[in-house]
Amino acid sequence: MGEKPRKLLVLYASQTGNALDAAERIGREAERRGCSASIVSTDEFDASSLLHEEAVVFVVSTTGQGDSPDSFKAFWRFLLQRNLGNCWLQRVRYAVFGLGDSGYQKYNFVAKKLDKRLSDLGATTIIEKGLGDDQHPSGYEGTLDPWMLSLWSTLYQINAKYFPKGPDVKISQDEVIDQPKYRILYHKREKLDPKLLAESDIIQRACGMSPGKLFKDKSKPDCFLKMTRNEVLTKAGSTKDIRHFEFQFVSSTIEYEVGDVVELLPSQNPSAIDAFIERCDLDPNSFITVCPRETENSGVNEEMITQLPIKLKTFIELTMDVTSASPRRYFFEVMSFYATAEHEKERLQYFASPEGRDDLYNYNQKERRSILEVLEDFPSVHIPFEWLVQLVPPLKPRAFSISSSPLAHHARVHLTVSIVSWITPYKRTRKGLCSSWLASLTPEQEVNIPVWFHKGSLPAPSQSLPLILVGPGTGCAPFRGFVAERSVRAQSSSVAPVMFFFGCRNKDTDFLYRDFWESHTREGGMLSEEKGGGFYTAFSRDQPKKIYVQHKIHEMSKKVWDLLCDGAAVYVAGSSTKMPSDVMSALEEIVSEEMGGSKEVASRWLKDLEKARRYNVEAWS
C-alpha cells in the first residue's frame, strides 16, 4: 500500500476578514494542486494538538499598533507557556504569512513574533515568512502570490505526496468551483409569526447568520444612538469637511470612558440596494434563513434552523456591503464560472489569474469599484444568491474615537469625523460610506443608529497622571474628552498637568475646536502654563516651511522632558502614515539629548515607557 496523500492545515487569525480571505486562497490553491487543505480559525483550534500536525500554514493579521486579532489571543497565550519546552514542536513544519501595513511602526508584528515563537518551540520553517503589505500596489496579494509558489515548490521537495502530480499541475478552475458554503432556505409567508421584532433583534438575527463572522458574540448592538447635532467644524476654503456630531441614547444608556471607541453600523443607499436586488433577480420581500451547508445532511432539525427568518432585503441592507466595498479576487473567479458571454468569461478568468493581478488592481481596488458596479460591468453573469451571500464583503461597523467625556457630557456621545471623499484615477468621485451617511443625517430625521462600544488603544488615564497629548487633525478627538473630563475633576480635587500638541494645515480654516482649546489655556484652565501644562499648535501650511507637531515637541523639549521625569504618559492619535513615527523620533532625540545617551538607549527608554502603558498610540489610515 502506498503512503496516503498529505493534508495541509491552514490556521488563520483575522480581525477584519483579510486573513480569512488569504487563508481560503491558500487552501484553494493547495487543493487545485491535489493537496487537500483544512482551514481553521485559531480560536476554533485546540492549540495543545498542534504538535500532532505535520505541516501548518499560519495566516495572521496585525491590527493597530502591533495588536493581535481577538481570535488569536487565547492561542498565543497557550504558546507562551513556559512548560512547553524547545522540542515541543520538533516534528512540525510551518510557514507564516502576515498581513500588515508598513505605514504603522509595528509592521506585521504578530507574524514576526509568531514565527520566532514557533521556532523557539522546535518547529522547522518550510520557507521564510511572507509579509503582506497594505501599502503594496496590489495589496497583500503582491507578496502572497510569489510566496505561495515558493511554498508549493518547497513542500513538494520535502514530500512529493503533498502534490501527487507535482506542484505546478493545476486542476482546471471550472472543476474546482465547489458548492457555496452556505445555503438559503426560503419560507412561506403564511407560516411566519406576524409579531414585530425589536430593531436590535433584527440586526442580531441578520448578523448572526451572516458569513462575515466579524461580530462573534457581539451581533446584537449595545444600544442605539440618535443624532442631536451635525456641525461643520472646518471653514470655507478648507480642503476638508470635518464634522462635530452629537448623539443621545435612545433607550438604554451605556457607560463609557474617555479614550473608548464606538462602532456605528451605517445605512447603505436605498436605491443602490434596490438596483442590486434587481440586477441579481431577487425577491426583496421573500423571507430567508442563511445556514452553513454542512447542516444540510447533519441531522440538524430544520425547524430549529428556520424559526427566525428575515426578509431578504433586510438581510442585504444589514450584512452585505454592495455599495462601497470592492470584491476580492475569488469573486471574479466565481463570476467567470457563471459568465455566459465568452468575452466576459475570458476577461474574468484573466482577472482571477496571477498574470492579471495588476490589471485587476487597476480596475477594481484602485477605482474602489463596488460589488454592484462590477456586476453591472459583466451583464451575462448571474450568480446564485448563495454565492453572493458568501462572497460579497460583509457590511462592517465603522469605528470612531469618542470625543466626549461622560462626566462633562452626561448621557451624550460626541464624534469628530472627517467626511471622506476622493477622486479615482479615472475621475470618479468616491465617498466614504459611513462618514457621508452621517453627514447627510439631521436631528429631525430621528434615525436610530446601532452602535457597539469597546476599548481602543488609549486607556483612560488617572487624574494624577501628567499627560503629553499629541493629536493633529481629527486625532484631537479623544483628547477633547480627556481635557473636558480633567477640567470637571479639577473643580473638586487636584489633577496633574496636561500638555497638548495640536496640528492642522491652516489656522483660519482647519483649527478644530479652537474656542474649546483656547478657553482651557486661560484663567488657570487645564492647558494653562500656570497649571504646569500648555497648548502648542503647528499650522503646516501657514508659512513657506512646513511645521508639524514633532517640530513643536522639539521646541518644548525641556518641558516635555521634565514632565516625562515626573511620570507623564504620552498619548498620540491621528493619521498612521508618518506622524506616529515622526513623533517617536522627536521624543527619541529629546531623551537622547537630555540623558546624554545614544539613540539606541533613548529608543529602549521609550520602549520601556510603552511596556508600562505610558506610551499609547491610536492611529488610522
User: Binding site for FAD: what residues are annotated?
Assistant: 368, 398-401, 432-435, 620
- DSSP for 78-116 reads HHT-GGG-TTTTTT-EEEEEEEE-TTSTTTTHHHHHHHH
The C-alpha atoms of residue 535 and residue 502 are separated, in whole angstroms, by 8
Cβ contact 187:309 at 8 Å: yes
Q: Which residues are annotated as a binding site for NADP(+)?
A: 474, 540-541, 546-550, 582
Q: Which residues are annotated as a binding site?
A: 14-19, 61-64, 134, 368, 398-401, 432-435, 474, 540-541, 546-550, 582, 620
The C-alpha atoms of residue 373 and residue 16 are separated, in whole angstroms, by 23
Cβ contact 595:601 at 8 Å: yes
Residue 160 is given by DSSP the state G
Phi first, then psi: give them for residue 492, nearest 5 degrees: -125, -10
Please report, in angstroms and rounded to a whole number, the separation of the first and last CA atoms in the chain: 56
Beta bridge mates, 615: 570
Q: Give Cα 574 distance to the centre of its chain.
A: 15
The C-alpha atoms of residue 35 and residue 22 are separated, in whole angstroms, by 17
Cβ contact 66:581 at 8 Å: no
Beta bridge mates, 263: 399, 452
Q: List the alpha helices (DSSP H) in 355-429.
A: 357-363, 371-377, 385-391
The grid coordinates listed for 205 are 438575527
The grid coordinates listed for 429 are 468621485
Rg (CA), the chain: 26
Phi first, then psi: give them for residue 8, nearest 5 degrees: -105, 135
- DSSP for 279-307 reads HTT--TT-EEEEEEGGGTTTT--HHHHTT
Q: Which residues are annotated as a binding site for FMN?
A: 14-19, 61-64, 134
